[in-house]
Chain A
Amino acid sequence: MWDVWDRVYGRHPESIGHLDYLFAESLYRRYGLGAGHPQRETYEE
């Protein structure tokens, strides 16, 4: 079946923390927002 997450990222969010990280990664990559490249583990705490 068609998958909205796969179509955008090529992957599914694995947790709420992962989705939070995906926001941070997108905002850093596209606009340079945040204090450095986001680390996944920071968002799983």
Chain B
Amino acid sequence: MYADSLNYRDGKKEIGIIPKKGEAMGTCATFSRKYICCRVHVLRTVQNCPFECSYCFLQHYLTDGLTKAVDDTATLMQEVKEKISRQPRRLFRIGTWELGDSLALEEKTGQAAGLVREFARLDNAVLELKTKSDCVEPILGLEHRGKTVVSWSLNTGHVIETEEHLTPSLGSRLQAMGRAAAAGYLIGLHFDPMILYEGWEQGYESLARQVSEAVPHEQIAWISIGSLRFNPAMKKTIENNYPGTRLTCAEMVTGDDGKMRYVKPLRVGMYRHMYAVLKKYISGNPLTYLCMERWDVGCMGQGIRPAS
């Protein structure tokens, strides 16, 4: 098949197990000096995803007609160990979600399980498996030694139904989260991308309440909040692939990083609301941060700027 004749959905039908080629570990692709980035590292172990989120950048980025998973864990870990050994006093957070879902294909690949076992033996690194799936069974019995954070990308029931096609329901994700927590894993929560719709305030409050009832709060390692953003060139792709979506109808502006976002007062209002309901329902003081926001929004207009 030729790339220009492929629909991006073609790449979701087949999984190719591939060897590691070149560097697999790097910094998150969203790393930016103008926007707050948490400096998480990524391990590129999977490309593409079986889910169909209308806002997903992969539909614009991956068009080669195949989902790929790297199978040689030993070679991947060789690179990880070599890189983290250069800064032994630093704690690295390393996620496998940059170009796909960390767990959605686990029953077919066994990839995450291999990494969980390996990270259990590392002193200065934590593995983050980020998912929208409910596929936790393969990792529940592993000896992880607390070195893996299983995190979920979460959204309201309305957004899941209208924009996150083929993904498990919120209830299924929360049930899986509870099982992972019961197996001793630390949990990460990503309320990202927040999306505006009529009734969004109640939707996100309900989401925070449901999450708070699903998992022991002391096991929540971190929480991120972010809002819808996409490359302007992707607008047409979204409208073509998902003709019924309302995502592209909102008033948006192009930021310094070239991505379109809701206008700033809307974003600040969304973050304030989300943080307020998180504080209302979730105790334990987990680290909470804004993903890919400007410093002046991250600091809510108090005039604080980063030193670098």
Contact = CB atoms under 8 A, between A and B. Distances in A.
Contact of A35 (B38, B123, B301): B123
B272 interface: yes
Contacts of B289: 4, 19
A10 to B, nearest CB: 11
Given A3-B299, A15-B307, A19-B289, A42 B89 contact: yes
Nearest to B305: A14
Given A24-B91, A31-B186, A5 B298 contact: yes
Contacts of B208: none
A34 B39 contact: no
Nearest to B274: A4
B302 A42 contact: no
Given A33-B147, A38-B91, A20 B39 contact: yes
Interface in A1-45: 1-5, 7-8, 12-20, 22-24, 26-28, 30-31, 33-36, 38-39, 42-45
A13 B88 contact: no
Give the dominant DSSP class at A's interface: helix
Interface string B217-245: 01001100100000000000000000000
Nearest to B220: A30
Main secondary structure of the interface of B (DSSP, over half): loop
A18 B275 CA distance: 21
B249 interface: no
B306 interface: yes
B36 interface: yes
Interface in B259-308: 271-272, 275, 279, 285-290, 298-302, 304, 306-308
25 contacts: A1-B300, A1-B302, A4-B271, A4-B300, A8-B285, A8-B288, A13-B306, A15-B306, A16-B36, A18-B306, A19-B38, A19-B289, A20-B38, A20-B39, A26-B222, A30-B221, A33-B91, A33-B126, A35-B89, A35-B91, A38-B89, A38-B90, A42-B87, A42-B89, A43-B39
Interface of B: 33, 36-39, 87-91, 93, 123-124, 126, 146-147, 186, 218, 221-222, 225, 271-272, 275, 279, 285-290, 298-302, 304, 306-308
